[in-house]
Chains A and B, each alone.
Chain A
Amino acid sequence: MKIKILLAAMLSLLAIAGTGCATQTPVESSSADEPGTLVVYTSRKEAFVEPLLAKFTTDTGIKVEALYADDAVVNRLKEEASRPRADIMIGNDAGALEYLRLQKVLAPLPAPPAGLDSIDPAYRATDGSWFGLSARTRVFIYNKDLITETEMPATIWELTDPQWKGKFAITRGGNGSMVAHVSALRFVWGDEKSEQWIRAVKENAGAITDGHSDIRKAVGAGEFAFGLVNNYYYHLQVREPEDNNVGIIYPDQGQGDMGAMVNAAGVGFVADGPNANSAKTFAEWVLLPENQKEFSGTSLEVPLNPRIEAPEGAAAIDSYKVHALKLSSLGEVWEGTRSLIERAGLDLELK
């Protein structure tokens, strides 16, 4: 009797597992004529990407299997390079995308997708392995109850001023946006001055957080007067039901200043991904104007293509002065910047 129960239990478990495997295992590569599936790895938040992918499935019939795994996707793509599982990487940092291209993990599509010209060449890989779609500009978010626009620092360098000691928050050194930002500073200032900046800012910062959500919430709640974030965190905080009396400063806008650092979120193509046709379909689909808009979507990032309407209240990309750095040069300095940050004493991870 008992053995029958045992066997029945085991068999039913195996049956469940078996059917599950049959329906879900994404190993099989689709044949050339059917659209089939698209495997997407993304370091972006699920809330930003999921609606876009759902629309893609509705529009094209192609089923999407998505992996939301923060920065871990970069490493996972690298580990799998000999046997790629993903077709598309949706990244939130051009540095990581370019790094993957240099590692030969990303490669261009056989032919450039229609619509690629709508993206400024400064925001895409030279060979088309990836292109940016929405801007993440480095800005100050400030609490209007604690500080006025005129009192606020106007440049990134002013963060080193001792008068701001304890008044602002930054992220840990290893945060992708921070790494890219420091790379941009190195480009203008050179290593020595950049290192000096990191040391002083680390000393001055009132808090060093894991990500930017904490900064916007803390500044909104008045724990700090201001913080260094990406622009869309300001837009997110303004839309909060409370703690929303915050302002935004695009730094370094004066004559001769370097301009605000713009990073890009975008799409990269995995070399030898299993569903090449789906990848091509996705590239052309996402470059359609309505989908470029959808890509920024709930993230409240600003489209890199100035002809696409920006979210309400957001400054369009051509309305402020932008740092001259070409994003595709971020990849090669990536590791160098990380070690510079670590050397200057700002921990990459929170301890």
Chain B
Amino acid sequence: MINELNTELYHPGEWRWQEGDRTVTRTSQWTAPGCHNGCGILVYTEDGKFVKAEGDPLSGWQGRLCARCLDMQEAVNHSDRLKYPLLRDGERGENKWKRISWDEAVQWLKDAHQDVCEEIRTYPGGIGPEGFVSLTGTGRNTMWQVGMLTRAVFGSCNAGSGFLSGDSCYQSRMFSCMLKAGDCWIQDTACQFPDRYDNPKYRIPEVVVLWGHEPLASNGDLFGHWYIDLIRRGTKFITIDPALTWLASKSELHLRPRVGTDSALAMTMLNVIMSEELYDKDFVEKWSYGFDELKEAVAEWTPEKGEEVTWVPADLITSAARMYADANPGQISWGVTVDMHVDGTELCFAINDLVAMCGNLDTPGGNVLLRYAYNTSKKYGAGLEFLSKEILDRRIGIDRNPILASGFSQAISTDMIVEQLESADPYPILMTFCHGTNPLSCTGCDTTRIYNAMMKARYNVVYDVFMTPTAVAVADLVLPAAMSVERKSFRSWWQPLRSITQCCDRYYESKGDDELIWYLGKEFNPDFFNKFERLEDFLTWLIQDEGNGVDYTYDELTEKVYDYWDWNMEYKKYEKGMLRTDGKPGFVTATGKYEFLCPVLDVIGTYTMPVFIEPYESPVRTPELLEDYPLLLTTGHRAPWFFHSEHRQLKYMRQFMEYPDCDISKDAAEKYGIAEGDLIWIESPRGKCKQIARIAPGIQPQTVRIRHGWWFPEQEGAAPNFYGTFEANCNNLTTIGVMGRIGFAAPVKGGLCKIYKVTPDNDCLVGKIYKEEGGFGGEHQLYWRS
């Protein structure tokens, strides 16, 4: 029989068994190395050492694995991994370190923390721990972890992201969902069911709109290749992307908007659907609020005006709007791109409105409302109970960040962290803790500014799996992190609740993220953490969530491996009274309806409905820049073999890409005398980087698409080379301090640039510009709001 395997070899229902000398453990993989998926794997170990991972054919992932997991042995057993706590033994940037014990590291942290607290208390209103700021990376299973580390361990109110301007990764998407629908949705690929597409409740979407999303390479939340399953089952695709992706080439329609004009596109689509009455009248009538106001707000967005702004032909916009509205069900799958324009939040409003209006909210095959499995409250907000009202009032930016002040989000604006590092006003940030983030290679926008800002902190700690450019450049203490297969943890992110089981010995003296918090907690906050004799007890406390979560222990989860939460397997929960705590039908919003017009946003002080804001730098807003910077920049192009700035030291991944390449059109190549394979400078008003030119068929002609997250672990780590990370860094070109009106979203993907060949005359080591010249000399934006 074709593709028939012997299921018994995969031990149905068991979580651990022996195959000869090898122990096999059934669990899920979730960082490090990082990604967003959390796939089901079988981990083979021998004498406590990692041998290999095999996809678990009996899991919801059906045995499939991407190249990164298939090469996990290279990551786990890599000789360059951090083995011990390291204390800086030279100047920052010299890459000279002294091995210390964990006891010494803890004492160093205690001394630093005490110094921070004492100095902060000399400032008006100073309490102490607020001078400590933690920074977290994405996809590194640092959710409740960073909250607990910051609040429960160090007693600080300041937890932020790794300097990704506007916190423009998922904040706009989540915020828009929460405000308008009261819950978050994800694209329905049947991942909430153990039997997946075979579940009788599920329906295959007729149409999927990929909005700024290349799921095959970016694996946002879900296993991207599930879309291949849908294509096979008859789903048609619409791709909205300035570049031709593989999925775009298979799509019925491909819309290539001018970078940063997606809101205009979305509002034009809304207008077409509303004026042609293609929407779901039953849903709009029974379950929504503010439809007429929205209709009025988008009325000006005729397809002709849409074309003028977005450069997408009017008839193509109309066709896309009709095709999505006519689909039953239709689905929209959005990527991080939608967060990465100044009007990203408002774009997310518009996309939400498309979903809801067309009757695809919480319907089979549409966009389904999910909560973290078993609705555990221990997420980014974890540990708030450890903070006093007084210290919460000391959060960075509390006086000018309405989202924070309103209590909607506990995420500190990363742009405001940078500004306060620079200004020390109203108090200095004396200590940073990078928890699984490498901002100088990856998320840190306007990176020279980040570098200079971080150098101002008295103490910088980096906790990671490898020595990174950020650690070399700014860290004083480096702590070794364990990898997923060495950790005890869990994942409740959507569905199912799943175990992350320790399968092999931890590498040398590394500690898992969860273990680190439990371990440091006993030192810094013994009253609380001494309740947990074992790490497993602490994890049980987290999954039980004080009566709100599961009713079993972490050890039992280890044996269950997966636990699919019933609640997540229901559709139209708003009809069934499943969303609201009062048990009434409706949504968790002020009106109880889906809100096309969201009055709460008016109270917060921002737009209540979708709006298009011309990009911060664009041919329309800043025509004066066009002479020098005639092309449109988009950053963050992904490849399937790397997760953000990770995996660069793995030769089995680098075999597919040695050096980052950027996509330019044939027109641009001819105009600027660039040939395929040339090393080129890409330059914006703030800085420049080098990548290899690829002439990309099908890209919007003025667009330059460049990669992110690159460094070269094989190169010299010490200054001024810094593992070469600043040479190819797309964030030399981006901004810090340019934000959407509520503080979320920033032009990470939008901007103007020019391109020209690297020649012996103009070549230079960019790291020297960082180390010796203090930056590129361009002007930094201090504070700009849409």
* Mutual binders A and B: no
Interface residues of A (CB under 8 A from B): none
